[in-house]
Amino acid sequence: MTKKFNGDEQSYSVHDSEEHEAYHGLKKLAQKIREAQGKKSEPAPVPSEPTQTEIAPEAPQTPQSQSRNAFRSKIIQKLQPNAGSAVQSGADTVVADSSAATDAGGSVGSQKPQERAGDYHDKALGRSRNFLSLTKKLLTDNKPAAIDDNWIKRLWKWADEHGVHDLEWIVDRNTKEGGYWKGLPRDRTIMFNITELNLGDFNLTSLPEDLGKIKTLSKLSLANNKLHTLPPEIGELTNLRTLYLHGNLLSDLPSEITELGKLAKLTLHSNRFKKLPMELEYLTSLVTLDLSANHLERLSLGINKLTKLRHLNLRHNDLRRLPLGISHMVNLTVLDMSHNQLNNLTAEVGSLVQLSELNLSHNQLTELPAEIGNLMNLTRLRLEGNQLYTLPREIGFLFRLTKLDLSNHNLVDLPSEIGNLTNLAELNLANNQLTDLPEEIGNLNHLKRLNVEGNELTQLPSTICNITSLTYLNAGANKLATLPNQIGDLYNLVELNLRGDLRSNQRKWGNMITRLPSEIGKLSKLKVLNLWRNRIILLPTEIGNLTQLTHLSLSMNHLIEIPDTIGNLENLVDLTLQSNRLKTVPPEIGKLARLEHLDLWNNKIEKLPKEIGELENLRILNLESNMLKKLPLTITQLLNLTELNLRENNLQVLFASNNLIKEWLLKLKEKSYHILY
């Protein structure tokens, strides 16, 4: 191959060979880099083979010299745009050489043609060798390094020694997915890419250092083991967002846990912490923190640095006051401090204006601050099991409340502002000392469940019947003697509890209802009616309109008869009539085709109607302590009976004379049923 310089011809075959070798070396380099990086896109463009002019432009022309240097740089940039300093360094060397060639020669035009060609000959060869050397260096440097996977083998060995099995799907219908994966995978590829790991419930007492090598983890469960400490390497899992450590024996945390800057959820409940680990205050990305069921007596001021917290669970500890500086936790939406020893609720609680759920139940609070009314975003407020005597009027500002539990206090009255809580769906006032309810309670037109059991109410306000949304009303164990006639307006009622007193209550009073208004027959959706331990003598015939009833309790009243309309209750499953004054049972009892439990204990019944044999689904029949002398033969048709009590009757003559019934009873006993006679 020849080139011309100002008319002269010279052979540059050697130099061209070097130039072409460098060019093809760079071309191979591009391919190697693409393979190493695993690119799936189109190959990076490689410049066409340089022309003769590009290889050896005329030396005397300075612009051509500059163009040549630019072309060299362009090749490198196109072949590897992200190449490191080595590529850039090589390009700089070429450019520097080129510039030096021009500067060393002074004015190019002043040289003789033969001399300029010779100088260019040497420098072109130098540049070609530089490119070739650079190509070989990059090809060597870009070889992938060997991957160390010995830590995986060590983890597998540890798992085998500690009974940690391979990944296994555990069925759990309580989870949204229907189950979860548990165990340590025995697959190398999975180990390099796993993001969630469950090592809970393996009775582990320690953890391997190599756990910190699984850098891809974002969720780790070590719950329900027997861990006393965590390895410092836990801090190497810097991608963790969820960490479950509950149900262990931890009393402190390693300082390295502060490296988990992305951690958003941390569960530490059911451990042995007596004080708040100071490391927690550095986990400023935490959104959910569960420290329940420990032995915490106080919380350090550092907890107020967790300004992103939205869910804080501190229940079942020994705390006596709110966390210091809790007013800084302005993003809290859920705070649970139930089952502690709080005796004073400071005004600071009013700063938590984003709270939607507040649980302070089962503490020792005697009053609430007026600032409680600032929590206008509250939807659930649980205060049961404290020692409150009154409520602040400001409670009426909690317009968004849907659930309010004020049971088991010493409340003697309610502020009329309770009627402002028009979004309430559940109101629990059970086991207080209320003697009446404010008329404004009738304003709660979204209320579905109302519990006033265990108070000292002598009557229910008629306005309570305005709450037509009610599905559940419990007014048992009060001092009620009558019901408002408007009771029938509660047409959505499904359950009505008016029982006389509480079995576990030592108080001497209870409801003493002697009659039911006929309007009770309008409760067409009623399924459960409890009138246990009152003083009812007669039932209104309208009781037969309650065709949806499944459970009817009339035990321990003064009933002398059951109306025939009882036979209309075709959905009745459970009927208890024990300890009344009944002498007969109406034949219509046989129409209760779905009845499974019939309790007639301690009455004065002398005989049963033959229709008793039509109760084909009856399983439990209690006839103890009556005055029965004989049984209808149809009773032997009760093929599904599993419990029968005939004690304390006058059936000796029957057993001696009626072999059919005697044989039937013996067969029931042979089936190991509970038969008493």
Confidence of residue 94 (pLDDT cuts 50, 70, 90): very low
* pLDDT tens string 123-162: 555 655 665 565 555 555 554 455 678 999 999 999 999 9
Q: Is the pLDDT of residue 656 over 70?
A: no
Residue 498 pLDDT class (50, 70, 90 cuts): very high
Residue type, 51: T
**What span, in angstroms and rounded, lies between the C-alpha atoms of 286 and 261?**
9
| Alpha helices (H) in 52-177, listed in sequence order | 52-55, 62-79, 85-104, 113-141, 150-161
Alpha-carbon gap, residue 408 to 433, rounded angstroms = 9
| Distance of alpha carbon 615 from alpha carbon 637, whole angstroms | 9
Question: Per mean pLDDT, which of 10-14, 22-26, 454-458 is the most reliable?
Answer: 454-458
**Closest listed residue to residue 231, CA positions, set 256, 264, 195:** 256
Query: Does position 105 have pLDDT exceeding 60, yes or no?
Result: no
Q: What is the mean pLDDT of residues 15-34?
A: 56
pLDDT at 452: 98
In DSSP terms, 221 is beta-bridged to 198, 244
Q: Which long-range contacts (CB under 8 A, 24 or more apart) does 593-600 make?
A: 593/617, 594/570, 596/620, 597/573, 598/622, 599/555, 599/575, 600/626
Quick one: DSSP state of residue 672? Answer: T
The answer to whether the CB of 569 falls within 8 A of the CB of 552 is yes
In eight-state DSSP terms, residue 137 is H
Both tokens assigned to 216: 């891809």
Query: What is the arithmetic mean of pLDDT over 369-385?
Result: 97
Identify whether the C-beta of residue 629 lies closer than 8 Å to the C-beta of residue 650. Answer: yes
Mean pLDDT of 430-456: 97
Instruction: Output the average pLDDT for the chain.
Output: 84
Residue 254 has pLDDT above 50, yes or no: yes
Sequence letter at residue 137 = K
Does position 647 have pLDDT exceeding 60, yes or no? yes
pLDDT band at 674 (very low <50, low <70, confident <90, very high): confident
Over pLDDT 70: what percentage of the chain?
76
Given a cut of 70, whether residue 98 has pLDDT beyond it is: no
CB atoms inside a 10 Å sphere around CB 429: 26
User: What's the mean pLDDT in 266-287?
Assistant: 95
State the pLDDT at residue 381. Answer: 98
pLDDT value for 149: 87
pLDDT the model gives residue 675: 72
pLDDT at residue 638 above 80?
A: yes
The DSSP string of 170-232 is EE-TTSTTSEEEEB----HHHHHH--EEE--SS--S---GGGGG-TT-SEEE--SS--S---G
Report angle CA 285, 289, 293 to the nearest 5 degrees: 160
Lowest mean pLDDT segment, chosen from 30-39, 229-238, 357-366: 30-39
Q: How confident is the model at residue 668 (pLDDT cuts 50, 70, 90)?
A: confident
Q: CA–CA separation, 11 vs 20, rounded Å?
A: 15
Contact 135, 21 (CB under 8 A): no
As a whole number, mean pLDDT of residues 13-21 equals 48
What confidence score (pLDDT) does residue 22 get?
Answer: 53
Local structure of residue 307 (DSSP, 8 states):
T
Residues facing residue 335 across a β-bridge:
312, 358
Checking if the pLDDT of 303 tops 80, the result is yes
Q: Is the pLDDT of residue 565 over 80?
A: yes
pLDDT attached to residue 23: 54
φ, ψ dihedrals at 486, nearest 5°: -75, 5
Work out the average pLDDT over 46-66: 45
- At 72 the pLDDT is 52
Instruction: Give how far Cα 470 sits from Cα of 116, 455, 474, 528, 568, Å.
Output: 106, 20, 11, 14, 25
Least confident window among 98-112, 266-280, 408-422: 98-112
CB 277 within 8 Å of CB 300: no
Residue, of 291 and 23, whose pLDDT is higher: 291
Beta bridge partners of 154: none
DSSP 8-state code for residue 274: S
Percent of the chain with pLDDT over 90: 68
Exposure letters 364-390 (e unless 16+ CB within 10 A, then b): ebeebbebbbbbebbbbbbbbbbebee
* pLDDT band, residue 292 (cuts 50/70/90): very high
Euclidean distance between CA atoms 213 and 198, whole angstroms: 16
pLDDT attached to residue 176: 87
Closest CA to 464 of 481, 492, 445, 482: 445
Lowest-confidence range among 41-55, 169-183, 472-486, 628-642? 41-55
Residues 497-522 have a mean pLDDT of: 82
Give the DSSP letter string of 338-399: -SS------GGGGG-TT-SEEE--SS------GGGGG-TT-SEEE--SS--S---GGGGG-T
Residue 27 confidence (pLDDT): 59
The tokens 């079995």 sit on which residue?
503
